[in-house]
C-alpha cells in the first residue's frame, strides 16, 4: 500500500471507529437527561435511580482489564462489533420494559458494550498512526466522542417529551445499529490485510502481562490521573447534573439540557488545548492534572457555598470548568502508552480506564444516598440543600486522587532518572521510557 493510500485508509478507519465511540457516549449518557422521567416511569427514588447508572458504570469498570486482555488477543474490530451489538440490545430493552430489574439489566448491557469501545479505538490509533500523533488523536477521540452527549441532551429530551419514552429509546437503538453497520464494513485492526491474531494466551501469560503493565509506575499514575480528573464532570453529565439544575437550581428542562450541551461543546475546544500542552510539556503533565482537579474543586466550592440559587453566569462557569475534566482524564492514557510497549497497550489502557469510572460509581451512589437522606419528609423531590450535602462527597475523592497522583508521579520520575543514569549499568529500558513521562 502506498503512503498516500495508507494515510487515507487510516483516516477512514479512525473516522468510522470514532463514530462507534460517539454512539457509545450517546448510549452511556442517554440516562443523564432522562433521569427525572425515568424516576416517574419506574416509580423509584433517587437512590434506586442511581443504581441504574451505577450498574452500567460498575460493569464498564469491571470489564476494563478483561476487555484489555481480549483486545490484545482479538483486535479492535471484533470488540467494536460485539460492543455495538450489546449496546443496541440494551437500548431496545430499555425502550420496552417497565420493570425495574429488567431496566437495570438493560443498563448492564449498555455498560458491557460501552466497555469495549474507547480502548478499541485507542488501539486502532496505536497501529494506524505514528507515535508522535498519539497524544493529539487520543484527545481528539475523547473530545469528539462527546458529540454523543450532545445528541443525548437537547435532541433526546425533545424527542422524549414529544414522542414518549419508547420511541425515544427505539431511536437511540437505531442510531447504534447504524454505527455498528459502518464498523463492520470499514474497520480493520491494522494497515496490513491480514490480522496477525496472537495465540490464545494461557492464564499464566495473562497474569504476567497484567503484572508487567501494573508494575510500571506510569500505568498507576495514569490510573490515578483518570480517577481524580474524570468523576466530577462524568457524574454531572451522566446522571446528577440535570436533576441538580432542574430540581435544585430551578432551571427549565430545556435550559438545563442546553447547559449540558454547552459543557460538551466546551470540551471539544479544551481537548486539543490539553493535547498541545501535553505534547509541548510532557514532563509537566501531572501539573496539568492537578490544575484541572483544583479548578473543579474551587468552582464547586463557590457554587455550593453560594447563598440561595446560583446565578446563571456561575452555572455557566461550572459547566465550562467541568468540560475540561474529560480531556484531563485522557492524560492517563498517554501515561499508559508512554510506559508500555504496543504488545500490552490494551491491558495497560484497561487498567487506566478503571480509575475514573470507579470514582464515578462511588460518587454517583453517594449522591443518590445522601439525597434520599437529606430530602425533607413529605417532599417528592430533593431541594437545593440536599444537593449541596450530596455533592460535598466529591472532596474526599479529590483529596485521595491528588495524593496518589503525587505519589506515583514521584515514583515514575525516579524510574526515569534511574534508567537515564550513566554511572550505573542498567538493563535497557523499554522503548516507551525514552522520553519524559510525568
Check residues 238 and 290 and name the one with the higher pLDDT. 290
Mean pLDDT of all residues in 169-192: 89
Q: Are 189 and 70 in contact (CB under 8 A)?
A: no
Q: Are 35 and 237 in contact (CB under 8 A)?
A: no
Mean pLDDT of all residues in 154-170: 84
- Nearest Cα neighbor of 384 from 297, 307, 300 is 307
With a CB cutoff of 8 Å and minimum separation 6, the contacts of 378 are none
- Nearest Cα neighbor of 139 from 334, 330, 322, 285 is 330
Name the band, by pLDDT with cuts 50, 70 and 90, for residue 153.
Answer: low
- Looking at 110-119, 187-196, 253-262, 379-388, which range is the least confident one? 187-196
Mean pLDDT of all residues in 276-304: 92
Phi, psi of 146, deg, nearest 5: -70, -10
Q: Which long-range contacts (CB under 8 A, 24 or more apart) does 199-207 make?
A: 200/73, 201/69, 201/73, 206/69
Mean pLDDT of all residues in 375-391: 84
pLDDT tens column, 341-373: 877 777 788 889 889 888 998 998 899 889 988
* C-alpha 230 chain-centroid distance: 7
- Nearest Cα neighbor of 299 from 318, 324, 323, 327 is 318
Name the band, by pLDDT with cuts 50, 70 and 90, for residue 395.
Answer: very high
Check residues 360 and 430 and name the one with the higher pLDDT. 360
In order of their start, the domains of the chain are 3-189+205-419 (1.20.1250.20)
- Looking at 168-172, 275-279, 311-315, 404-408, which range is the least confident one? 275-279
Mean pLDDT of all residues in 325-337: 89
Spatial distance between the Cα atoms of 369 and 325, rounded to a whole number of angstroms? 24
pLDDT at 435: 44
pLDDT tens column, 48-99: 887 887 888 888 888 877 887 788 788 889 999 999 999 999 999 999 988 8
Check residues 252 and 158 and name the one with the higher pLDDT. 252
Residue 431 above 70 pLDDT? no
User: 65-78 as b/e, with b when 16 or more CB fall inside 10 Å?
Assistant: bebbbbbbbbbbbb
The 3-class secondary structure across the chain, one letter per residue, is CCHHHHHHHHHHHHHHHHHHHHHHHHHHHCCHHHHHHHHHHHCCCHHHHHHHHHHHHHHHHHHHHHHHHHHHHHCHHHHHHHHHHHHHHHHHHHHHCCCHHHHHHHHHHHHHHHHCHHHHHHHHHHHHCCHHHHHHHHHHHHHHCCHHHHHCCHHHHHHHHHHCHHHHHHHHHHHHHHHHHHHHHHCCCCCCCCCCCCCCCCHHHHHHHHHHHHHCHHHHHHHHHHHHHHHHHHHHHHHHHHHHHHHHCCCCHHHHHHHHHHHHHHHHHHHHHHHHHHHHCHHHHHHHHHHHHHHHHHHHHHHHHCCCCCCHHHHHHHHHHHCCHHHHHCHHHHHHHHHCCHHHHHHHHHHHHHHHHHHHHHHHHHHHHHHHHHCCCCCCCCCHHHHHHHHCCHHHHHHHHHHHHHHHHHHHHHHHHHHHCCCCCCCCCCHHHHCCCC
C-alpha cell at 418: 534511574
Check residues 264 and 112 and name the one with the higher pLDDT. 112
pLDDT tens column, 21-34: 999 998 988 877 67
Residue whose C-alpha cell is 454531572: 236
Check residues 245 and 32 and name the one with the higher pLDDT. 245
Check residues 369 and 415 and name the one with the higher pLDDT. 369
- Nearest Cα neighbor of 381 from 197, 216, 249 is 249
pLDDT at 90: 94
pLDDT at 201: 60
Check residues 364 and 434 and name the one with the higher pLDDT. 364
With a CB cutoff of 8 Å and minimum separation 6, the contacts of 426 are 418, 419
pLDDT at 249: 94
Mean pLDDT of all residues in 130-143: 77
Spatial distance between the Cα atoms of 425 and 409, rounded to a whole number of angstroms? 24
Q: Are 105 and 93 in contact (CB under 8 A)?
A: yes
pLDDT at 92: 94
Percent of the chain with pLDDT over 70: 90
pLDDT tens column, 282-291: 888 999 999 9
pLDDT at 433: 43
Name the band, by pLDDT with cuts 50, 70 and 90, for residue 436.
Answer: very low
- Looking at 146-160, 199-213, 241-255, 261-275, which range is the least confident one? 199-213
Q: What is the mean pLDDT of the chain?
A: 85
pLDDT at 434: 43
Amino acid at each position: 500500500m502506498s503512503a498516500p493510500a495508507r494515510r487515507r485508509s487510516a483516516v477512514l478507519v479512525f473516522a468510522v471507529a470514532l463514530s462507534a465511540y460517539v454512539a457509545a457516549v450517546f448510549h452511556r449518557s442517554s440516562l443523564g437527561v432522562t433521569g427525572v422521567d425515568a424516576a416517574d416511569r419506574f416509580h423509584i427514588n433517587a437512590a434506586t435511580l442511581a443504581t441504574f447508572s451505577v450498574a452500567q458504570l460498575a460493569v464498564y469498570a469491571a470489564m476494563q482489564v478483561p476487555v484489555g486482555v481480549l483486545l490484545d488477543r482479538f483486535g479492535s474490530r471484533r470488540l467494536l462489533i460485539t460492543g455495538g451489538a450489546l449496546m443496541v440490545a440494551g437500548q431496545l430493552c430499555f425502550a420496552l420494559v417497565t420493570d425495574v430489574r429488567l431496566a437495570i439489566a438493560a443498563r448492564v448491557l449498555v455498560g458491557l458494550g460501552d466497555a469495549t469501545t474507547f480502548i478499541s479505538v485507542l488501539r486502532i490509533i496505536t497501529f494506524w498512526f505514528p507515535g508522535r500523533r498519539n497524544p493529539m488523536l487520543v484527545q481528539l477521540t475523547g473530545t469528539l466522542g462527546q458529540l454523543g452527549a450532545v445528541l443525548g441532551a437537547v435532541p433526546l429530551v425533545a424527542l422524549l417529551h414529544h414522542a414518549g419514552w419508547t420511541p425515544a429509546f427505539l431511536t437511540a437503538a437505531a442510531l447504534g445499529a447504524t454505527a455498528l453497520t459502518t464498523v463492520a464494513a470499514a474497520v480493520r485492526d491494522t494497515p496490513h490485510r491480514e490480522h496477525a491474531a496472537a495465540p490464545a494466551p494461557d492464564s499464566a501469560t495473562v497474569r504476567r502481562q497484567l503484572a508487567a503493565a501494573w508494575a510500571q509506575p506510569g500505568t498507576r499514575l495514569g490510573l490515578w490521573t483518570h480517577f481524580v480528573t474524570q468523576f466530577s464532570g462524568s457524574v454531572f453529565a451522566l446522571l446528577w447534573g440535570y436533576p441538580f439544575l432542574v430540581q435544585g437550581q430551578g432551571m427549565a428542562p430545556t435550559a438545563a439540557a442546553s447547559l449540558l450541551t454547552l459543557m460538551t461543546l466546551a470540551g471539544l475546544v479544551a481537548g486539543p488545548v490539553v493535547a498541545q500542552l501535553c505534547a509541548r510539556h510532557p514532563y509537566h503533565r501531572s501539573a496539568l492534572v492537578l490544575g484541572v482537579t483544583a479548578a473543579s474543586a474551587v468552582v464547586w466550592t463557590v457554587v455550593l457555598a453560594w447563598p440561595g440559587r446560583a446565578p446563571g453566569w456561575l452555572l455557566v462557569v461550572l459547566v465550562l470548568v467541568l468540560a475540561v475534566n474529560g480531556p484531563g482524564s485522557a492524560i492517563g492514557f498517554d501515561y499508559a502508552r508512554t510506559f508500555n510497549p504496543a504488545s500490552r497497550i490494551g491491558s495497560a489502557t484497561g487498567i487506566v480506564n478503571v480509575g475514573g469510572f470507579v470514582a464515578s460509581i462511588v460518587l454517583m451512589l453517594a449522591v443518590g444516598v445522601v439525597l434520599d437522606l437529606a430530602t425533607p419528609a413529605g417532599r417528592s423531590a430533593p431541594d437545593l440543600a440536599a444537593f449541596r450535602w450530596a455533592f460535598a462527597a466529591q472532596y474526599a475523592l479529590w483529596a485521595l486522587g491528588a495524593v496518589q497522583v503525587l505519589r506515583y508521579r514521584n515514583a515514575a520520575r525516579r524510574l526515569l532518572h534511574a534508567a537515564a543514569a550513566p554511572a550505573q549499568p542498567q538493563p535497557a529500558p523499554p522503548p516507551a521510557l525514552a522520553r519524559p513521562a510525568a
